[in-house]
Structure 1
Amino acid sequence: MNMRYEIALETFRKLSPTKAFSNPVMAIVWIGTWLSLLLAPSNNLGWAFGIAVFVALLTTVLFANFAEAVAEARGRGQARALREARKDLMANVLLQDGSVQIKPASALQCGDRVRVSAGEQIPADGEIVQGCASISEAAVTGESAPVLREAETDRSGVIGGTLVMSDQIDVEITAAPGDSFLDRMISLVEGANRQKTPNEIALGQLLIIMTLTFLIVVLTLPFVARQLGLQINPLILIALLVCLIPTTISGLLPAIGIAGMNRALKHNVLAKSGKAVEVAGDLDVLMLDKTGTITHGDRMATRIIPLGRYTEDTARRISYLTSAMDPTPEGKSIVTLAGDQAEWKATLTNAEFLPFSATTRMSGLNLSNGVQLRKGAADSITAHCAQLGGRIPPKTESLVEEIARAGGTPLLVCEDADIVAVIELSDVVKPGIQARFARLRSMGIRTVMITGDNPLTAAAIAAKAGVDDYMAQARPEDKLARIREEQAAGHLVAMVGDGTNDAPALAQADIGLAMNSGTQAAREAGNMVDLDSNPTKLLEVVEIGKQQLITRGALTTFSLANDVSKYFAILPVLFVPISPGMASLNVMHLASTSSAVLSALIFNAIVIPLLIPLALKGVPFVPGPATNLLRRNMLVYGAGGVLLPFIGIKLIDLALQFIRF
């Protein structure tokens, strides 16, 4: 369906009572619209005036509906693209006897295991339990470059509808039919599951109270006027009520909330609720992992320093041997730095490789001649050598400390009980990250770096990156405890994570940004998912949240300021018959009663579509103290909201005189 036709159809569909009464303020305008049509033939200002009031009020309601319809249509447009990835696929289900059964993806249940080969689409959300593959997620993220997903890592989660580009993987299904990532994503971007934010609810309640107050005032006016010998035209009372109540912000409020989620999705961030976007605007503590977020993440060997009696050649040879069978990026970089000689390779024959263990914090080889070679963290290697009766070379401790203070990671290499060399690994801080943290600091947000490195290395990286605080040697339980500690002190905390061990912290944080590439547990725990799996994306999310808060505040200020000007259009013509002195309030010198009423109503209607682009795009956000933002809003949207209606209403009044209404 053409989007313009869809928007128009939805605009008129919202005129139905069930839709109209979902917004109490606009429901009053809706009732006044049909009352004005009934009163049009019998009012003392003529039927043409009555029809004109009806048309102006109907236009006001339609424009308010149009604002929400445009925002919803944008979400539906994004949802259509996502539906293309959710075709009725067929799955190769692995049975317990080892055979394969083909069944529709819609029939898959949680716990089923499916085999997906190169060129096939993944039938449903799940975790890779065997194998690794290059996967194109373009259907979901729009990013054409394939990503690597591998079993038993923090990048094992896969999404239904994505395409396997190479190799073969076995996937365990983790989503029930109709509850997949894409199903929920489509529902969210369409706005079907959009929850109102606390600020939006509070503002809505304030607008309802204001509307009820003005309704009571307007309903009592005829009785007061009758005591003074004056009869007020009911159409003017309806027009007065509509101009008094905050119709502008009420008409735009749903669109602002939907647009906030859509703006996040434009940055490939899926917010599970509008509340998540808005809370991001109030954050004051941001917790980020060091590796891959603040630094590039791939630590590279930059120096091999021999210790004690060992020569440089021997140090290089033993460093090579400890890393030749190490598949990690660090191990490969050590091999590259040490060099490659045929005689060294021969030593590896029948050698037993010991992979890195989080318990021992070491890896290495047991050679066929019985020699044990180990490589690992400084404290682990020194303890290992001491246990075997070895001695620690004099310069070891000072070199380790020097490398750590410079922001590097020191590794020790040992041969049996003797420490041979220290290897320096360097992890480079991402360019421009200091400026981004400074930008957050200007918004009043404190940044905390989380790392498993030792305190000296953590302090050096924190200083280079420009973060406000850091946690060294952090375990999953430490992250959770720190978040709770910050929240107990009254702070709103954001956390970034991608692994199953990050799930508790993601669930505890006020904003949990999970990486799309991460595990299903992490995606379920977070209230936002970054489809690009870029941990620094949270910086953009904070700005989107603040922009939404500022947009709602600016348009609310503008709307209420508008009402002040409209009072000067209608109140003088209403009360001049009672008190001729009220004529001095007609500062716009409007031509007549009918012209004043229609000018105010027409301006009240057309200001809504004029503000729709601002509501959808958002007020430009410039980081700064809250007082500066408030001052700017009051100046631009407060003063502007008072002055613009004076100009607009007067111009409409002149136009009505020109056409001799």
Structure 2
Amino acid sequence: MATETLQLQLSGMSCAGCAKSIERALQSCDGVTSVNVNFASEIAAVTGDGLQPKQLITAVQDAGYSAQLIDRSQSSPEDQRDDAQQLQFFKFLAAAILSLPLLYTMFGHFSWTSGIPVPALLMSPWLQLLLATPVQFIMGWQFYRGSYHALRNGAANMDVLVALGTSAAYFYSIYLAWFAPDYHPHEGLYFETSAVLITLILLGKWFEARAKGRSSSAIQKLLQLQPERALRELATGDTEEVAVADLKVGDIIHVRPGQSIPTDGKVISGESAIDESMLTGESMPVAKHDDDVVMGGTMNTTGFLRVEVKQIGAETALAKIIQIVEQAQNSKAPIQRLADRVASIFVPAVLVIAALTMLTWIVFLAPGDWRSAFEATVAVLVIACPCALGLATPTSIMAGSGRAAQAGILFKQSDVLERTQAVDTIVFDKTGTLTEGRPKLTDFGLFNQALPQATVATLVHSLEKQSEHPLAQAIVNGLVAHLGNDDGATDAPKIQQFNAHQGKGVSAKATYHDHSYQVFIGSLRLLEEQGVHVNDHAQQLLRELQTQGKTAMAIAVDGELHAYVAVADTLRSTSKEALQALRRRGLKLIMLTGDNNHTAQAIAQELGLDDVIAEVLPEDKANHIKELQATGATVAMVGDGINDAPALAVADIGIAMGTGTHVAIEAADIALMRADLNGLAQALEMSRLTVRNIRQNLFWAFAYNVIGIPIAASGLLAPWLAGGAMALSSVSVVLNALRLQRVKLNRQ
């Protein structure tokens, strides 16, 4: 049975401890192999065989939380989070209205505010009880519910701390009201403390929910790119407006100027410039003509296009980009493990510290002063916040990966986003990576006149048509001028026993004009293996072509050297600029190619590369990556072809050009959606900034608790101030992460 991944939208989590509880609950379900719960996005990614959504949802509900299967065709997780945000806001608003009178009574508690009049009615314990009770048990019910489920599951979370601290203040005040009738109203009651604490925490939760929603806005923006309707062409030539979901492969759609392209397809008529910046980050519109590929979600700017639908639904480029971004945001980075370990013991440790605080005040600091001991203990309970620890990593990952996606850089996993900044060596494939990947025939000549040039051209043309290699296609297109017809189809040779010699060339038996020829086209190595003699003059000519940066190939017919061809692939216009930016980072740059050494050295010298590994067979590329890793280097491999896939998979970081093959992109860790190596420098920069942001978040999350808890325990912090500080700690961590969304990724 095929492995699948389901996503659940969660609600009811209050801290990283809740995420761990849900992970344990889902892990116990049948068929589940791995679970990642992202506290920041409130999404659980469940991977396994034969997953049953109802069973997964029930497991989450039994753990005390809510869940529903994410179905983007029905609604988005963002819609559900918006509803949760609104509910949190209304809870805060109601709590604030009830707490404001209680907050005003605090002016009567301090000598320095004694001049501010406080109505006697507000000081009544029964009015305060009336105002505080709805806040405690209606608006604050979520904390009791969360505490119950956490304790039932053998864990403790932030809800436990909030419920314990506010309940202590609330019930202690009831005790004073009922059993201590001679108390002084301005000295004993803590109704305002419990109510204001809950109100401030609800406010913090609302801020936190809004900020978390902003950190995941990248996916929402991507979802908004695809239009809902399309104009489908009928057999009569007329059009009808249909839902994009109703389109089928092979349909013809019309795209007018100013409209978004509904789905992936191929232009069959028309010319236009397409704005692809929303998917690739490329600011300049791309010209499109007949047979060019267009992607759903991009914008048609100027001309009218008729497009044949090639991909629909989950197979479109936009859908795959969304899937990759979600995968990165919902995975767990290695740096998160420290925070998870701390969060797992955090609440029990705080409960112990609170108990010790109470004991220390009663026994040593202020014997008999229960009020001071009580306030210090409550302050410790409410200032402690595991939320900030739980949010530190995932919010940075979400913001960083989302910003990178907007620039056309797709990190497939969060650990890749973390590890990329540690790369010190980058290995480049040549064709399609450093070069355009669209080589052209530059030279074609004979070494002898035993066969007419037209005959040799026809044989080579027919043989290379059997190959899909870019160099073969360049030879086919370039030889048309030497043929007596447009495409060599008329009276074409009959090709048999075609064989592709990986990394060396091709061979076949060709029957032409009743004569059978054995033809070899490729490197000198191939001809030497076949026993073909290559004289000094031929070797010198081929070397001269190679020193010019061309790929030269010899042609042997019936065991004799007859001709040569040379193909050149132009460098990408941005390659030099991008490599300069990488060199400024102190990286070692290496080219790994199957081309002969002379050609490779000429290109490497022009680009200023540090090293060249040439004449490498496709199956040996991965071995060379391993050899570099064995020296202690952290290696990134950049490629775009099928033969690059093993090397991309072996490298510490595999980077595929988005213009490359699907195999290469699947094997890679990072996909650059535009044919521009400047994206590589941007990926390294985004990784560096994200890791730095995570470390900042973790530092402040730890520092906040390390500093705040002792201050609270010393009695220097009123409980309501501690509650406000706790609420703001999570918000500050998320706001720091959101700075990544404003990063300007320059081309250099």
Q: Which position in structure 1 is the counterpart of 2:398?
A: 258
What letter is aligned with 1:70? R
Query: Counterpart amino acid of 1:264?
Result: A
2:615 aligned with 1:473, yes or no?
yes
Does residue 206 (structure 1) correspond to residue 351 (structure 2)? The answer is no
Contact 2:433 2:639 (C-alpha < 8 Å) held by counterparts: no
Alignment partner, residue 690 of structure 2: 548
CA deviation after TM superposition for structure 1 residue 257, in Å: 2.5
From 2, 7, 10, give the equivalent of 2:84.
10
Partner of 2:33 in structure 1? none
* Amino acid aligned to 2:85: T
What secondary structure is seen at the aligned counterpart in 1 of 2:433? coil
- Give 1:65's aligned residue: 209
Match of 2:335, SS state, is helix
Check whether the contact 2:328–2:412 (CA below 8 A) recurs between aligned residues.
Answer: no
CA shift in 2, pair 1:45/1:253, >3 Å: farther
Aligned to 2:67: none
Match of 1:296 among 436, 446, 449: 436
Specify the SS of the correspondent of 2:546. helix
Partner of residue 279, structure 1 = 419
In structure 2, which of residues 593, 606, 612 is the aligned counterpart of residue 464 of structure 1? Answer: 606
Match of 1:206, as an amino acid? V
Change (3 A) 1:331 1:209: closer
1:40 to 1:319, Cα distance in 2 relative to 1, 3 A: farther
Give a deviation string over 1:281-321, Cα, whole Å, max 9, x none: 334443432111112223344566886899xxx99988876
The 3-state SS of whatever aligns with 1:62 is helix
CA-to-partner distance for each residue in 1:545-589, whole Å, 9 max, x for gaps?
A: 222211101222344445566468646544xxxxxxxxxxxxxxx
Q: Give the corresponding residue for 1:239.
A: 379
**Structure 1 counterpart of 2:522:** 377
Shift of 1:210: 5.3
Q: Which runs of 5+ in 1 are unaligned?
A: 91-103, 109-113, 575-592, 624-661
CA distance in 1, matches of 2:189, 2:582: 59
Question: Are 1:347 and 1:367, in contact at CA under 8 Å, matched by a contact in 2?
Answer: no
User: Which residue of the partner structure matches residue 222 of structure 1?
Assistant: 358
Equivalent residues of 2:404, 2:683 under 8 A apart? yes
**Superposition map of 1:295-314 within 5 A:** 295-302=435-442
| 2:197 aligned to which of 31, 53, 66 | 53
Change (3 A) 1:182 1:323: same
Paired residue for 1:267, among 400, 407, 427? 407
Root-mean-square deviation (Å): 5.9
Q: Which residue of 2 aligns with 1:429?
A: 571
Task: From the superposition, tell whether residues 382 and 487 of structure 1 become closer, same or farther in structure 2 (CA, over 3 Å).
Answer: closer
The aligned runs of 1:37-48 (5 Å cut-off) are 38=170, 41=173, 44=188, 47-48=191-192
The answer as to whether partners of 2:438 and 2:569 remain within 8 angstroms in 1 is yes
The correspondence of residues 320-469 of structure 1 with structure 2, limited to 5 A, is 350=491, 352=493, 358-359=500-501, 361=505, 368=513, 376-379=521-524, 383=528, 387=532, 392-412=534-554, 423-441=565-583, 443=585, 445-469=587-611
Partner of 1:638: none
Cα 1:333/1:509, change in 2 over 3 Å: closer
Counterpart residue number, 1:615: 737
Q: Which runs of 5+ in 2 are unaligned?
A: 1-74, 89-139, 175-186, 234-242, 256-260
Q: Is this contact kept in 2: 1:503–1:521, CA < 8 A?
A: yes
Give the counterpart letter for 2:170 in structure 1.
L
Moved more, 200-209 or 9-18: 9-18
**Structure 1 residue 59: deviation in Å?**
2.7
1: distance between equivalents of 2:696 and 2:363?
41
> Quick one: structure 1 residues 264 and 406, their matched pair in 2 at CA, closer, same or farther if it must change by over 3 Å?
same
Aligned partner letter, 1:225: W
Give the 3 Å change call, closer, same or farther, for CA 499–28 of structure 1 in structure 2.
Answer: farther
Give the corresponding residue for 2:331. 195
- Correspondent of 1:116 among 230, 243, 250: 250
C-alpha distance after superposition, 1:490-512 (max 9, x if no partner): 65544445555544444444444
Alpha-carbon spacing, 1:221–1:59, altered in 2? closer, same or farther (3 Å):
same
- CA positional deviation for 1:443: 4.8
Distance change >3 Å, CA 362–CA 538, structure 1 → 2: same
Instruction: Name the SS of the counterpart of 2:432 in structure 1.
Output: coil
In 2, Cα distance between equivalents of 1:10 and 1:318: 75
What is the 5 A alignment of 1:495-506? 495-506=637-648
Alignment partner, residue 35 of structure 1: 167
Whether the 8 Å contact between 1:253 and 1:552 is mirrored in structure 2 is yes
**In the TM superposition, what is the alpha-carbon distance from 1:379 to its structure 2 partner?**
0.7
**Pairing 1:556-567 to 2, within 5 Å after superposition:** 556-562=698-704, 566=708
Deviations along 1:465-494, one digit per CA (max 9) or x if unpaired, are 344444323333213333444556665544
**Alignment check: 8 A CA contact 2:212 2:734 kept:** no
Instruction: Indicate the percent of aligned positions where both proteins have the same amino acid.
Output: 21
Does the 8 Å contact 2:440/2:475 carry over to 1? yes
Cα distance in 1 between the residues matched to 2:657 and 2:163 = 48
Deviations 1:581-631 (A, max 9, x none): xxxxxxxxxxxx64xx655654554465455443024299899xxxxxxxx
Secondary structure in 2 aligned to 1:201?
helix
Deviation at 1:367, TM superposition (A): 6.4
- Range with greater deviation from structure 2 (193-202 or 438-447): 438-447
CA distance in 1 between partners of 2:488 and 2:194 (Å): 100
Q: Deviation at 1:220?
A: 0.9
Distance 2:222 2:275 in 1: 16
The structure-2 alpha-carbon separation of the partners of 1:26 and 1:530, relative to structure 1 and needing over 3 Å to count, comes to: farther
TM-score where L is the length of structure 2: 0.58
Matches within 5 A, 1:101-180: 116=250, 118-119=252-253, 141=279, 145=286
